[in-house]
């Protein structure tokens, strides 16, 4: 079993829809990251969370430390949001290592 699980693995949406991607983890963490990877490879850091909620534009990320769960929400989705979204945790016993989830492939159609 992976230490970081994401769901769903694949997600399609119509432009304008509200999107939720979930991440559950089984290890103690010092922080959780949400990352975005477009075709072609480059990874962009969207959020780093250790508690509560963060908002940036149409993106909202929440984390529940007790339940070991985080969600990434995209409001008013747009085709340019199409990408792979990756949840990664930094373990509390080795902060140098990011443990990655398998990613959620999102396609938003006009």
Partner 1 sequence: DTEVTQTPKHLVMGMTNKKSLKCEQHMGHRAMYWYKQKAKKPPELMFVYSYEKLSINESVPSRFSPECPNSSLLNLHLHALQPEDSALYLCAAAYQGGFEAFFGQGTRLTVV
Which residues of the chain form contacts with partner 1 (CB under 8 A)?
A: 30-31, 33, 35, 40-45, 48, 86, 88, 90, 95-98, 100-103
Is 18 or 97 the residue whose CB approaches partner 1 more closely? 97
Q: How far is CA 57 from CA 25, 60, 98, in A?
A: 26, 8, 25
| Shortest separation between residue 40's beta carbon and partner 1, angstroms | 7
| Shortest separation between residue 41's beta carbon and partner 1, angstroms | 4
Is 37 or 71 the residue whose CB approaches partner 1 more closely? 37
Is 3 or 17 the residue whose CB approaches partner 1 more closely? 3
- Which residue, chain included where needed, has tokens 């995209």? 74
- Cβ-count burial of 39 within 10 angstroms (0-12 exposed, 13-18 middle, 19+ buried)? exposed
């Amino acid at each position: 079993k992976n230490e970081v699980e994401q769901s769903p693995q694949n997600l399609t949406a119509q432009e304008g829809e509200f999107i939720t991607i979930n991440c559950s983890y089984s290890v103690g963490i010092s922080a959780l990251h949400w990352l975005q990877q477009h075709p072609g490879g480059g990874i962009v850091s969207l959020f780093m969370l250790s508690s509560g909620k963060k908002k940036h534009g149409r993106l909202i990320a929440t984390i529940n430390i007790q339940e070991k769960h985080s969600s990434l929400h995209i409001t008013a989705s747009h085709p340019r949001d199409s990408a792979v979204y990756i949840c990664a945790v930094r373990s509390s016993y080795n902060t140098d290592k990011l443990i990655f989830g398998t990613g959620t492939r999102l396609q938003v159609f006009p």
